[in-house]
């Protein structure tokens, strides 16, 4: 008897969280997972020490970024903390078509754009997850510990974080952030369940009767 095999389209996992929640570290851990691609965003923000062009972000000038938007290359884009950030459409769509899951680390505006995209394939594959900081005090502590922002930037990110935290009900899943290990376990549980959704599966071979 032929074994039953399934084929499925990729899932577009979107993670949003206020800056400093630990989302970047979470994504770095998830990036180590096989059969999963991390979509490297474009940004006009200057690289932080240690960040690598093409790995952490595609660092673009404002002119280059606006030209990519003009040519329709972006699935979504947003102005976050005074800099442009955006997701390249081609990378995401190619992976989803091949059945590869994609991880996007994007802000709440970007998630809202993806949710209302008129691209049916992208919309159907979307699983959006919000990582909620346990308290605003903890968020401030984590932001300061990172030590990559000036005092003014910390204050701006905290103000934005307070507003972003109100948007959790718009997301399909919300994880209350604990330790990195706890957040990883919770996120992997979501990933696993979403991969078994019947509506995503298509039989490649009917079992012999």
Q: Which stretch binds ligand 5GP (CB under 6 A): 103-111, 127-135, 166-174, 189-197?
A: 103-111
Shortest reach from residue 86's CB to ligand 5GP, in Å:
5
Residue with smallest beta-carbon separation from ligand 5GP:
110
Question: Buried b vs exposed e over 167-183: b needs ≥16 C-beta within 10 Å?
Answer: ebeebebebebeeeeeb
Shortest reach from residue 115's CB to ligand 5GP, in Å:
12
Other beta carbons within 10 Å of 162: 13
Here's the x/- map for ligand 5GP, 134-173, by CB under 6 A: it reads as ----------------------------------------
106 binds ligand 5GP (CB under 6 A): yes
- SS3 label, residue 180: helix
110 binds ligand 5GP (CB under 6 A): yes
Residue 166: DSSP 8-state: G
Here's the x/- map for ligand 5GP, 18-37, by CB under 6 A: it reads as -x------------------
Q: Give contact residues for ligand 5GP (rule: CB under 6 A).
A: 19, 41, 45, 76, 78, 80, 85-87, 105-107, 109-110
């Amino acid at each position: 008897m032929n074994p039953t095999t399934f084929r499925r389209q990729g899932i577009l996992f979107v993670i949003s969280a206020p800056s400093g929640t630990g989302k970047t570290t979470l994504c770095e851990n998830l990036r180590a997972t096989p059969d999963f691609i991390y979509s490297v965003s474009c940004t006009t923000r200057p690289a932080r020490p240690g960040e690598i062009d093409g790995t952490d972000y595609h660092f673009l000038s404002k002119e280059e970024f606006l030209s990519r938007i003009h040519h329709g290359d972006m699935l979504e884009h947003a102005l976050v903390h005074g800099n442009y950030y955006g997701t390249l459409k081609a990378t995401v769509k190619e992976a989803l078509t091949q059945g590869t899951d994609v991880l996007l680390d994007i802000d709440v505006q970007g998630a809202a754009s993806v949710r209302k995209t008129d691209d049916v394939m992208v919309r159907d594959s979307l699983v959006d997850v919000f990582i909620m900081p346990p308290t605003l005090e903890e968020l401030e502590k984590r932001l300061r510990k990172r030590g990559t922002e000036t005092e003014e930037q910390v204050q701006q990110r905290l103000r934005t974080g307070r507003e972003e935290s109100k948007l959790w009900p718009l997301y399909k899943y919300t994880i209350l952030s604990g330790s990195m290990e706890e957040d990883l376990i919770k996120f992997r549980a979501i990933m696993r369940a979403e991969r078994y959704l019947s509506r995503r599966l298509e039989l490649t071979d009917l079992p012999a009767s």
